[in-house]
């Protein structure tokens, strides 16, 4: 079936378009055009001047985790299967048509991905890492990815491949949610990290590395990981206290993407009378940006208080904290994210031949990102999740 969305303002993932219609057939975009070029046989949906943009991408979520829980799980809860489906539906209705799941314990998120891909349930396109590779009793060890040496780590990696993982996740540093784990400390040495990256690449998989502490950021960059998650520059004095220019230059030289997991809860920093931390973080992001280190939007959805469908609200906070323009911020959640995740030929732009991942919003997000919180139409691979 051919569908035509008419009466639009269009931002195609790169720039504003002079066209005012999007035509798609089944799952693919056929054309971005004017009303007179819409095929006669198309089902026409008048959109009343809404702004169309590519569906949003969240590069770091955990579908298995319930954000209402205040502590980390001791193990995977198989009863999360039903809530995971609900979360997936909420995400796509909010305009999130792609997400990267970076950790679970029993491959429930891979089952969810397969159900979405087969059309059994409604949800975003998912890229899944399975069990993160971590040290013995290291961060998120409760998900079953513990490894005491390189040989064991390679076994964990291949276990994820056997279960159909789309990428590999490595815990380069500790984290806050695991008792006895320190965000500042590294969990693997460079030889182990580099060999894991090479093994993943031999299997055509990219690697995402959880990195809070500066030493872990350095190891991950030197090992050649594809995305650095969090990139918190944690030092002795906390978050953002140990930014080192020479290490950032290594990140830039290696071409790694930074996925900073800024969620809407970071608004509390902007609201705080003491702007010391915000100014410190903004300075770090601007320094990385000036070096050409690219960012992708992410929220770490699933951790306490961070809900899976709140990326649209988080993007405005990300923009303010990182000092990015509205358009730059939109690209981190659309075209740039697609490039980082290896989906540039599939989605991320409103372009003929790409998947019909389309978000319609009330207002102009190029002027005010809060427009993203007012979705009026969503199509994910051509399937309607919300109709105007």
Confidence of residue 180 (pLDDT cuts 50, 70, 90): confident
**What's residue 112's pLDDT?**
98
Q: Phi then psi for 111, rounded to 5 degrees? A: -60, -40
Percent helix, strand and coil across the chain, each to the nearest 5: 35, 25, 40
Does residue 382 sit in the same domain as residue 328?
A: no
* CA atoms of 364 and 11, how far apart (whole Å): 9
Q: What's the whole-number average pLDDT of the chain?
A: 97
Does residue 37 sit in the same domain as residue 74?
A: no
Under 8 Å between Cβ of 67 and 305: yes
Q: CA 310: distance to chain centroid?
A: 12
Q: What is the pTM of this model?
A: 0.97
Q: What are 229's two structure tokens?
A: 């998650």
**What's residue 74's pLDDT?**
82
Does residue 272 sit in the same domain as residue 366?
A: no
Total number of domains in the chain: 2
* CA atoms of 160 and 4, how far apart (whole Å): 41
Residue 193 has pLDDT above 90, yes or no: yes
What radius of gyration do the chain's Cα atoms show? 20
Give counts: helices (H), strands (E), the chain.
11, 17
Q: Phi then psi for 61, rounded to 5 degrees? A: -135, 165
Does residue 158 sit in the same domain as residue 183?
A: yes
pLDDT digits (tens, 9 = 90+) for 302-346: 999 999 999 999 999 999 999 999 999 999 999 999 999 999 999
Residue 75 has pLDDT above 90, yes or no: no
What range defines the domain where residue 107 resides? Answer: 56-340
**What's residue 365's pLDDT?**
98
* CA atoms of 63 and 78, how far apart (whole Å): 12
Does residue 221 sit in the same domain as residue 327?
A: yes
Does residue 369 sit in the same domain as residue 333?
A: no
Does residue 12 sit in the same domain as residue 154?
A: no
Residue 179 has pLDDT above 90, yes or no: no
Does residue 135 sit in the same domain as residue 282?
A: yes
CA nearest 94: which of 57, 61, 63, 62? Answer: 57
**What's residue 185's pLDDT?**
96
């Amino acid at each position: 079936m051919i569908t035509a969305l008419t009466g639009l303002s269009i931002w195609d993932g790169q720039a504003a378009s002079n066209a005012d219609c999007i035509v798609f057939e089944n799952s693919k975009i056929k054309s971005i055009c004017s009303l007179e070029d819409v095929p006669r046989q198309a089902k026409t949906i008048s959109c009343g001047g809404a702004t169309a943009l590519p569906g949003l991408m969240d590069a770091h979520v955990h579908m298995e985790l319930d954000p209402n829980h205040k502590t980390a799980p001791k193990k995977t809860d198989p009863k999360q299967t039903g809530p995971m489906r609900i979360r997936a539906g909420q995400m796509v209705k909010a305009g999130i048509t792609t997400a990267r799941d970076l950790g679970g314990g029993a491959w429930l998120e891979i089952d969810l991905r397969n159900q979405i891909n087969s059309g059994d349930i409604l949800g975003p396109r998912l890229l899944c890492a399975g069990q993160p590779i971590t040290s013995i009793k290291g961060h998120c060890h409760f998900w079953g990815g513990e490894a005491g040496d390189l040989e064991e780590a390679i076994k964990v990696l291949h276990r994820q491949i056997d279960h159909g993982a789309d990428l590999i996740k490595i815990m380069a540093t500790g984290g806050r949610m695991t008792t006895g784990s320190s965000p500042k400390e590294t969990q693997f040495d460079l030889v182990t990290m580099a060999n894991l990256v090479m093994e993943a690449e031999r299997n055509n998989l990219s690697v995402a590395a959880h990195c809070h502490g500066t030493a872990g950021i350095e190891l991950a960059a030197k090992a050649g990981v594809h995305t650095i998650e969090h990139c918190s520059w944690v030092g002795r004095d906390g978050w953002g206290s140990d930014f080192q220019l020479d290490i950032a230059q290594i990140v830039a030289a290696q071409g790694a993407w930074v996925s900073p997991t800024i969620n809407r809860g970071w608004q509390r920093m902007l609201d705080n009378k003491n702007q010391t931390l915000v100014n410190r973080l903004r300075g770090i992001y601007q320094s990385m940006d000036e070096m050409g280190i690219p960012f992708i939007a992410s929220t770490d959805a699933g951790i306490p208080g961070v809900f899976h469908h709140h990326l649209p609200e988080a993007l405005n906070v990300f923009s303010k904290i990182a000092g990015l323009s509205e358009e730059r911020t939109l690209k981190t959640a659309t075209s740039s994210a697609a490039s980082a995740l290896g989906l540039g030929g599939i989605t991320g732009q409103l372009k003929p031949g790409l998947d019909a991942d389309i978000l319609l919003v009330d207002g102009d997000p190029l002027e005010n990102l809060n427009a993203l919180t007012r979705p009026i139409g969503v199509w994910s691979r051509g399937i309607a999740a919300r109709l105007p």
